Amino acid sequence: MKRVMTTAVEHFPIAGSFTISRGSKTTASVVTCTLEQDGFSGRGECVPYGRYGETIESVLAQIEAARPFIESGIGRETLRESMPAGATRNALDCALWDLESKIEGRRASSIAGMSEPLSLTTAYTLSLGEPEAMAAQAAKYAHRALLKIKVGTADDASRIRAVRAAAPDSAIILDANEGWTEDNLAHHFAACLEANIALIEQPLPAGKDRFLGTISRPVPVCADESVHKTEDLPTLAGLYDAVNIKLDKTGGLTEALRMRDAARALNLKIMVGCMVGTSLGMAPAMLLAQGAEFVDLDGPLLLAHDRQPGLRYEASLVFPPLPALWG
């Protein structure tokens, strides 16, 4: 057995720009890892995220440092135990899943002990902007079953009302990206309750979660930046109602499946989210998202162009990957 690893940095233009409370971007930059063995090839993709101290350069350096172990033939569980959670491990872990699937000639879902994955209703994300601009975005996509709205300013009540008025029939998730404060939280919660918001992601900065246990939460609240790995969960139970599991945070599908099961044991609802990446990054998350209460795997829809073949999206549905893409 001879395993060879190659990496590539790829840049995919975003359709327009993507804005959250921390800033805007016009390009999705991803690191792709390819593992070749016995004539078979497996791929994984990650999106380095500056919020977590990651850069393209740091991920490439970490992958290169792991090369001897990866090319020696280590498996997913050894990788999970020997490398910290994060984007680097995600690319490697998902490449190992894909490689194993190709070598064994069976789908990754079968390797995971799951039934064939089904199509899922995914959120479609709207960027942060002024209320009128966000209302225009919401009206354009009001036919979608589930919208995710980026907020996170000192006063988002007008944005919440404008979006709800423009998309009266859509379920709505709000993502504050740590942008609210203890002082304005009750004000925003009241606006969310009035607008029948389904879920609020990470209203307060990570590390300030304890405040959520001291107030009434009239709308379910979901941890995102505060949760990266299974060991984070016990301290969040009782403060949050749900957790957003992203492969780039957990360090791959192997850890993400463990986290999902542990979260359910703590009576936490599951949201499966993504960074802005291509269908290769979303494909393994389709396994994780089976049975999740909230699915946000719209990354490719935000790009000017995706990989080919990519995931199939129809209306609000996203369909499982073809083997030519992943798994």
Question: At 188, which helix (H) or strand (E)?
Answer: helix 185-194
Active site residues: 150, 246
**C-beta of residue 92 within 8 angstroms of C-beta of residue 63:** yes
Query: For residue 97, how many other CB atoms are within 10 A of its CB?
Result: 25
φ/ψ (deg, to 5) at 193 = -65, -45
H or E element at residue 271: strand 269-272
- CA–CA separation, 45 vs 190, rounded Å? 39
152: which DSSP letter? Answer: -
Cβ atoms 238, 223 nearer than 8 A: no
Give the burial string for 226-256 (b: 16+ CB within 10 Å, else e). bbbbbebbeebeebbbbbbbbbbbbbbbbbb
Please count the helices (runs of H) and the strands (runs of E) in the chain: 11, 14
Degrees, nearest 5: CA angle 90-94-99: 150
**Residue 224 pairs with which residues in a beta bridge?**
none
